[in-house]
Structure 1
Amino acid sequence: MKYLVHLLLFVLLSNGSVTASNPQESADVIIYGGTSAAVTAAVQVIRMNKSVIIVSPDKHLGGLSSGGLGFTDTGDKSVIGGLAREFYHRIYLHYQEPASWNWQKQSEYGNKGQGTPAMDGNERTMWIFEPHVAEQVFEDFVKENRIRIYREEWLDRDKGVIKKNNRITGIKTLSGKTFTGKMFIDATYEGDLMAAAGVKYRVGREANSEFGEKYNGVQIDVLHHGHYFEKPVNAYKKEGDPASGLLPLISPDPPGKQGEGDKRVQAYCFRLCLTDHPENRVAIEKPAGYDSSQYELLVRVFKTGWTGVFNKFDPIPNHKTDVNNHGPFSMDYIGMNYDYPDASYEKRKEIIAAHETYQKGLLYFITNSMRVPADIRERMSKWGLSRDEFKDNGNWPHQLYIREARRMNGLRIMTENEVLGNKVVTQPVGMGSYTLDSHNTQRYVQSDGTVQNEGDVQAHISKPYQIEYGAIIPKKGECENLLVPVCVSSTHIAYGSIRMEPVFMILGQSAATAAVQAIDGKKAVQDVDYEMLKKQLLKDKQKI
């Protein structure tokens, strides 16, 4: 009988997910979230000989890394180390197998990445990939390390965090399960565990004056990257007639003054995996709730001569593409996510559904409306959803791109000054290098009656920067055993650079390392010996 019990336990752990009758489970480290950071954190805990449980509200692992963002935002790849680099190495190994190229020959793939080749033979890494390939790499990490995962377990945000003496002792999920541990890591895009634990956080944009920044706050005088109305487009239903009312998706509110703070959140979208391969293509269908009037503004943009619909159909292997927002009216559902960070689960589901309807409707409109220029309509008709991606979700991505939600108000706050190298970081646990990147936050009416977008910033960074350890931990008076590697402590505009998937993987590993050292030293995370932490990070090939 004892042998059978051990065999059953081995089978459960090997499958990478657990269904338990026991309502309480324990481990040294409890990780809440199913993102790329959650997986790298869990692997690091195991490799440091501690026990771990991932409590994931998601069914699928990897967040955006497996949810459509296959054209990786990397910046300077030389600062990506540790488990993050191992992830991209495993992607490389996958695409070295001839069987991986089922819709396209490897020799036909253009090898285009963001400024560098997608496939780096010298470094044996690959930065561009299909969603299902990324998900399989994460699942392989879980299986190889026998990581316990409870999927589709949602934190009880009202009364699900149990604290004693300023430490979390356990968390409860809506299903009634309790997970107890010594250390906790919030690896969600939303920061739900952090917030429920009473840790203070920020939502929206800080005024430039608060931290001496330039690119934070309202940016009505900054027009970057082509994501704005370059030619005049009237905002009213009847052109030139304010009494006729605004076209859909234009805010009636004033945009605010240059540089002042607000509670607006940069736009979300789904990163779509489309294909033009006939055998793998699923036709774009009219979504339930489709309303063609929602795209009237796009018709007016076309009339100005704009033709950039396909400028962010970035190629990934096997005749597929990672589709991102581009231009004045595109995949971003601008202004429709302000409530998301603090919203209930039910309200978030409504917001996510609205984004799905908007983007499906946009694809259908461009493909079918006779008001779309014929050449664009014809080209769009050759694209469809990829039949072999997101099979259990109608070939639609399972993860909305939550570019920004809550940001912890932690022990240290990363600002654009640290990112741009104007302020020294003293205890680095990882590095970033991507552009200061914020998508638009609002679409408003200018004084002349024309429409404009606001909030898009693309500010160049001259060299990689370090990320403070204090940015992934709360203030000691709020919680002593929580680390937050995704909703890090930063200003809106600094987060615009930090918020890249490779960085989340890096910070997930670093958070786990600190958690284990805090356990071994019987310390609060704020009291971890940084020199010991640094030594372990370097040993594990992190770049700091």
Structure 2
Amino acid sequence: MRKLTLLLPLFITARLFAQNIREVDICIYGGTSAGVIAGYTAKKMNKSVLVIEPGKRLGGLTSGGLGYTDIGNKYAITGLSRDFYRRIGKHYGRFETWIFEPGVAEQTFQQYIKEGGVEVLYQQPITAAKKEGKRVAEIQTASTIIRAKMFIDCSYEGDLMAKAGISYTVGREDNAQYGETYNGAQLREKHQFPDGIDPYKEPGNPASGLLWGISPEQVEKQGTGNKKIQAYNFRICLTNEPGNLIPITKPLGYDPARYELLLRVVQKSQPRNLGSMLKIDHMPNHKTDINNNGPISTDMIGMNYNYPEADYATRAKITRDHECYNKGLLYFIGHDPRMPEHLRQEMLQWGYPKDEYPTSGNWSPQMYVREARRMIGAYVMTQANCESKEIVTDGIGMAAYTMDSHNCQRIVADGMVKNEGDVQIGGFGPYPIAYRSIIPKVEDCTNMFVPVCLSASHIAYGSIRMEPVFMVLAQSAAVAASMAIDNQQSVQDVNVPKLQATLRQRPLATDARPEILVDNDDSSHVILKGNWQRETKGAYGPSMYISNSIGTIRYTPEVTRSGSYRIYTYVPKRTDLPASTHIRVSADGKTIKQLAYTPASIKVEGQTAGEWVDLGTIKLAKGDKAYVEITNEGKDGEVVADAVLFYPE
């Protein structure tokens, strides 16, 4: 009853003083990469849409510094998410690019908003949600009441989900809860301090107190669940282009004592360059995407525990603290006289780019919120799904990244400082993500989707939580929301096979001719002759074929719509490719065109994995007579055969 008396005056006040009351088919909360794709998709499904963005910028982390795309396997990325990276590629004169500048990403998201005619309300954090029975009827922001038939929470924090009273969790489950092995407390060797690093302000003197950032808590038994959150940071965009460079200066609130542990690590390990403390990935136009690396880096370990459920003022303070810590780290490395001269000089070549984030002081407004709330929905994705020990049949997207968690705390173990929580377990291929994992339990809500803070255990979420995957799931959510509206259904009653078919038939949410992908594992469309060895590492999709003996592999597309198609074959990153690979292409099964590509023609810069090699354009008639055949003729190395793509022109 107390909860009711608190909520009612809020909505009465909202109705009296709100400047605006809006009614739409679909309301999307969060203008992240997922939110933009969901909004565009819903509009293409002929629905009225409103995107509510708490901040001032679209694209979330994808436009906020994460330009060196974490992906795992490109095969997992479909639909408009894949289209986003194709649009980025077009900007750089490529077919497809997964490495890009923040401003280019933001411009691309704005293209979707403009093309779709999607309305966005900026600087409108949610303050309340009102439910009627099991349905969310409306939400309240600072100045607007939004009523909608369906809601999609695309925020990194799950604020709409929480305001609507949907079940969620924060932190790490105990391994025993879902029969996992990599959840809970984990003391491992990756991003770990070398043995012997003293944790005390006065080395060897516990009475002097712990250095900044070290927790006095005892390390828990391996696999024990707790509410600690994996560390946040910023994905930092710097430049070494003199004409575009703003020098790194001392940030407000700078405290060199925060980096004492870095000095102790440097003194012990004697690093040759910055790579031991900063993961510097290079972007186009002399820019970077810098991520955490090593025992002490950009991750502000243990300083974000309150963030997921905090109010906006507290979150803003936590974000400022992380910004200060990250900027301070860069300044410390370049200016503290105790740092080795060669590291200081290497750091001083970098500065903030003048042409990035001009409205936020040339610093990203988007902190890397790796994990906050996670819904406890109709189905919980777990380690078993990642490892394909349990395979769902209601998949509406795929993931393929390593089960990844950054460190959660810095503690003392056996008298030495250690990090706890980092897990990086891979070695598995793409796997499906359940539709049930993006919808609530029926008793919680019947008209909401949660494609970002989806229903997954901590360690499974670590594999799923990639920006391209969020976009895939958001598109699926928007299509499902449209179907639910059309059929006057709850989200739990959506016809999933029909949803899956729609996603396949309209991958760009339009009636445009879809591309045709023929992958090695599609046995009905791939014919092998000779001795080919199946390999999985580095492949597009589940596998690729390699041969150093005489043989061919033929890819035969099923053409459902006649037209002109550009052909691409996928070539993984390898150093042992032959001088040339010979290919035969036929549009009708009779007339044959001889082609070849060389390693020199493969432009792997701008990619995080292999590359699509352009084989030219072909006109295809409806049917299955056409083929692309990779041969071993003239080989002087191992011939690689992976997927073939027919892209409509």
Paired residues of 2:185 and 2:420 also in contact (CA < 8 A): yes
For 1:40-76, what per-residue CA distance to the aligned partner results, in whole angstroms no more than 9, with x for missing partners? 1011111111111001102100000000000000111
Paired residues of 2:60 and 2:366 also in contact (CA < 8 A): yes
1:450 to 416, 422, 429: 416
- TM-score where L is the length of structure 1: 0.89
Aligned counterpart, 2:79: 82
1:72 partnered with 2:72: no
In terms of fraction of residues, the more helix-rich structure is: 1
Paired AA for residue 198 in structure 1: G
CA distance in 1, matches of 2:70, 2:103: 18
Paired residues of 2:274 and 2:346 also in contact (CA < 8 A): no
CA distance in 2, matches of 1:30, 1:476: 20
1:267 to 214, 225, 231: 231
Aligned counterpart, 1:309: 274
CA distance in 2, matches of 1:232, 1:71: 34
Q: How does 1:22-421 map to 2 (within 5 A)?
A: 23-96=20-93, 124-156=95-127, 160-175=128-143, 177-220=144-187, 222-224=188-190, 227-307=191-271, 309-310=274-275, 312-421=279-388
For 1:419-451, what per-residue CA distance to the aligned partner results, in whole angstroms no more than 9, with x for missing partners? 11111212001000011111000000012x110
Identical pairs, percent? 50
SS in 2 for 1:256: coil
Q: How many angstroms does 1:461 deviate by?
A: 3.3
Aligned counterpart, 1:504: 470
Paired residues of 1:433 and 1:461 also in contact (CA < 8 A): no
Superposition RMSD in Å: 1.3
Paired residues of 1:218 and 1:260 also in contact (CA < 8 A): yes
SS in 1 for 2:83: helix
SS in 1 for 2:309: coil
Paired AA for residue 331 in structure 1: T
Paired residues of 1:91 and 1:133 also in contact (CA < 8 A): yes
Q: How many angstroms does 1:301 deviate by?
A: 0.5
CA distance in 1, matches of 2:502, 2:270: 52
Q: How does 1:427-506 map to 2 (within 5 A)?
A: 427-447=394-414, 449-506=415-472
Q: How many angstroms does 1:232 deviate by?
A: 1.9
Paired residues of 2:231 and 2:370 also in contact (CA < 8 A): yes
Q: How many angstroms does 1:526 deviate by?
A: 0.4
CA distance in 1, matches of 2:35, 2:348: 38
CA distance in 2, matches of 1:191, 1:255: 29
SS in 2 for 1:273: coil
Aligned counterpart, 1:10: none
Q: How many angstroms does 1:394 deviate by?
A: 0.7
Paired AA for residue 263 in structure 2: V
SS in 2 for 1:258: coil
Aligned counterpart, 2:560: none
Q: How many angstroms does 1:306 deviate by?
A: 4.3
SS in 1 for 2:58: coil
Paired residues of 1:29 and 1:183 also in contact (CA < 8 A): yes
Q: How many angstroms does 1:465 deviate by?
A: 0.6
SS in 2 for 1:257: coil
Q: Which runs of 5+ in 1 are unaligned?
A: 1-20, 97-120
Aligned counterpart, 2:12: none
CA distance in 2, matches of 1:61, 1:69: 14
CA distance in 2, matches of 1:331, 1:495: 21
Q: How many angstroms does 1:257 deviate by?
A: 1.1
CA distance in 2, matches of 1:151, 1:405: 22
Which structure's relative contact order is higher, taking Cα pairs within 8 Å and 6+ residues apart?
A: 1
Paired AA for residue 347 in structure 2: M
Paired AA for residue 142 in structure 1: I
Q: How many angstroms does 1:374 deviate by?
A: 0.7
CA distance in 1, matches of 2:426, 2:120: 39
Paired residues of 1:436 and 1:494 also in contact (CA < 8 A): yes
SS in 2 for 1:88: helix
- TM-score where L is the length of structure 2: 0.74
Q: How many angstroms does 1:312 deviate by?
A: 1.0
SS in 2 for 1:517: helix
Aligned counterpart, 2:10: none
SS in 1 for 2:274: coil
Paired AA for residue 173 in structure 1: T
Q: Which runs of 5+ in 2 are unaligned?
A: 1-17, 509-516, 518-540, 542-649
Aligned counterpart, 1:6: none
Paired AA for residue 296 in structure 1: E
CA distance in 2, matches of 1:162, 1:264: 30
Paired residues of 2:195 and 2:416 also in contact (CA < 8 A): no
Paired residues of 1:309 and 1:327 also in contact (CA < 8 A): no
CA distance in 2, matches of 1:51, 1:414: 31
Paired AA for residue 341 in structure 1: P
In terms of fraction of residues, the more strand-rich structure is: 2
CA distance in 1, matches of 2:306, 2:228: 9
CA distance in 1, matches of 2:464, 2:427: 12
Paired AA for residue 76 in structure 2: V
SS in 2 for 1:304: helix
CA distance in 1, matches of 2:474, 2:81: 9
Paired residues of 1:285 and 1:364 also in contact (CA < 8 A): yes
**Which contiguous aligned blocks of 4+ residues in structure 1 show a shift greater than 3 angstroms?**
none
Equivalenced residue count is 490
Q: How many angstroms does 1:22 deviate by?
A: 5.4
CA distance in 2, matches of 1:462, 1:211: 19
CA distance in 2, matches of 1:306, 1:472: 47
Bigger radius of gyration, 1 or 2?
2
CA distance in 1, matches of 2:40, 2:219: 45
Aligned counterpart, 2:629: none
Paired AA for residue 259 in structure 1: G
